[in-house]
Amino acid sequence: MASQSETVFASKRPPLVNFRLGPVSLRFNLRVLAFIAISLALLLLLAAWAATLGSFRVPLDEVVKAAIGESTRQYEFIVQTLRLPRIIVAILVGCALAMSGAIFQGLVRNPLVSPDIIGIDAGATIVAVWWIVTSQDRTLLPVVAFGGAVASAAAIYLLTWRGGISGNRLILVGIGMNAMLSAGTTYLMVKYPIEQVSSAIAWTAGTVYGSDWGDVEVMLIALLLLIPLAVTLMASLRVLQFGDDTASSLGMLVEPTRLLLILTGCALAAVAVSTAGPIGFVALIVPHIARMVAGPMTGAVLVLTGIFGGILLLGADVVGQHFLPVALPVGVVTAAIGAPYFLFLLYKSNVRV
């Protein structure tokens, strides 16, 4: 007969379900799956509502019909050409940023880390600003920004390497790199004429304005490749959080695994920044919310984190576009939300400097 302590322990175990398909075996937390289903429903409702808003209002039923091509030509143009690409890009960018933040926070075991703080976003920004102010081909801007983010990540990794990667050293190097690259961006803004700089200023604010189906395609392809990889790496990330010695004793190749996690997190941040510009604080805030709701980071919680990121960024874009006296880029709205939250986290973390 089980003791009382064993009964209490068993009652606190999360409800799990096993799934096996050939050599693949997965275990799901039913509670997290329920959160994912509810969050997806909320995201779809928010997206449908966002498509109704604008100077030309579209009824909700017409939004659904226009999305599947069964409405009038006018409604289909407004929904399919003008609104849906922006909505989908906002969701995908928020998803990528949130997942990237979750990876970096777990990797360095620090809740105050995100790719926009340690210089990944700044690498994309300085290259993109240079590309814009020198009047280069704007169609290549996402590719150029992506290259800048990857180059920044590579520099941070090489400067951090001392026979291995230390989480605290990575943070310090990243903050220094962020400051240096931000200074370079400011220099470019001051050096070139205002006529050339004005469009760069709009991009650096972080915006999904002007998104089209080409942006949707790029984001979808990138996330279809990166999300399965990130979800697969979550088990390794949890082992790394026990320390390098423990991970090595379990047979893990610590540095190659850490490098793969860094590259995955950088790629998620880079593809988001290359599409929408540097949008701050999403990668910082959302992983905290997901962990508070669903518990420690697992593959399923990472998926939930991505959905929360889509909800936050789309909601911020709706607020900035329709519910303020003047339309604002989504990056300004997320900064207004995120800066106080960052100070709160700093206070709660008892960080001494």
Is the separation of the CB atoms in 314 and 91 below 8 Å?
yes
Q: Give the tens place of pLDDT for each residue, 30-86.
A: 889 999 999 999 999 999 999 999 888 999 999 999 998 888 899 999 999 999 999
Entry pTM: 0.88
Q: Give the tens place of pLDDT for each residue, 100-124.
A: 999 998 888 877 788 888 888 899 8
Q: According to the model, what pLDDT value does residue 9 have?
A: 38
pLDDT of 12 strictly over 60 = no
Q: According to the model, what pLDDT value does residue 52 have?
A: 95
pLDDT of 200 strictly over 90 = no
**Out of 25-29, 186-190, 318-322, least confident range:** 25-29
Q: In Å, how far from its chain's centre is CA 19?
A: 28
Q: According to the model, what pLDDT value does residue 24 have?
A: 58
Q: According to the model, what pLDDT value does residue 158 have?
A: 86
Neighbours of 282 (CB within 10 A): 32
Q: What is the mean pLDDT of residues 192-208?
A: 84
Architecture of domain 59-100+110-348: Orthogonal Bundle (1.10)
**In which element (H, E) is residue 336 found?**
helix 330-348
| Distance set, CA 140 to CA 88, 136, 204, 274, 346 (Å) | 21, 8, 16, 10, 38
Mean per-residue pLDDT over the chain, rounded: 86
Domain extent listing, the chain: 59-100+110-348
Is the separation of the CB atoms in 91 and 112 below 8 Å?
no
Q: Give the tens place of pLDDT for each residue, 277-320.
A: 889 899 999 999 999 999 888 889 999 999 999 999 999 999 99
Q: What is the mean pLDDT of residues 243-262?
A: 84
- Sign for the CA dihedral angle at 151, 276, 334, 310 comes to negative
Q: Is 28 helix (H, G, I), strand (E, B) or coil?
A: strand
Q: Using the 8-state DSSP alphabet, how is residue 14 labeled?
A: P
Q: According to the model, what pLDDT value does residue 2 have?
A: 44
Please give the Cα distance from 156 to 77 (Å, whole number): 45
The pLDDT-based confidence of 353 (bands split at 50, 70, 90) is very low
Please give the Cα distance from 90 to 168 (Å, whole number): 32
Q: Is 18 helix (H, G, I), strand (E, B) or coil?
A: strand
Is the separation of the CB atoms in 167 and 149 below 8 Å?
no
Task: Pick the most confident of 19-28, 94-103, 278-287.
Answer: 94-103
Q: Give the tens place of pLDDT for each residue, 140-187.
A: 877 888 888 888 988 988 888 877 666 678 788 888 999 999 999 999
pLDDT of 199 strictly over 50 = yes
Share of the chain above pLDDT 90, in %: 41
What is the DSSP track for 35-97?
Answer: HHHHHHHHHHHHHHHHHH-SSS---HHHHHHHHTT-S-HHHHIIIIIIIHHHHHHHHHHHHHH
Q: According to the model, what pLDDT value does residue 3 have?
A: 47
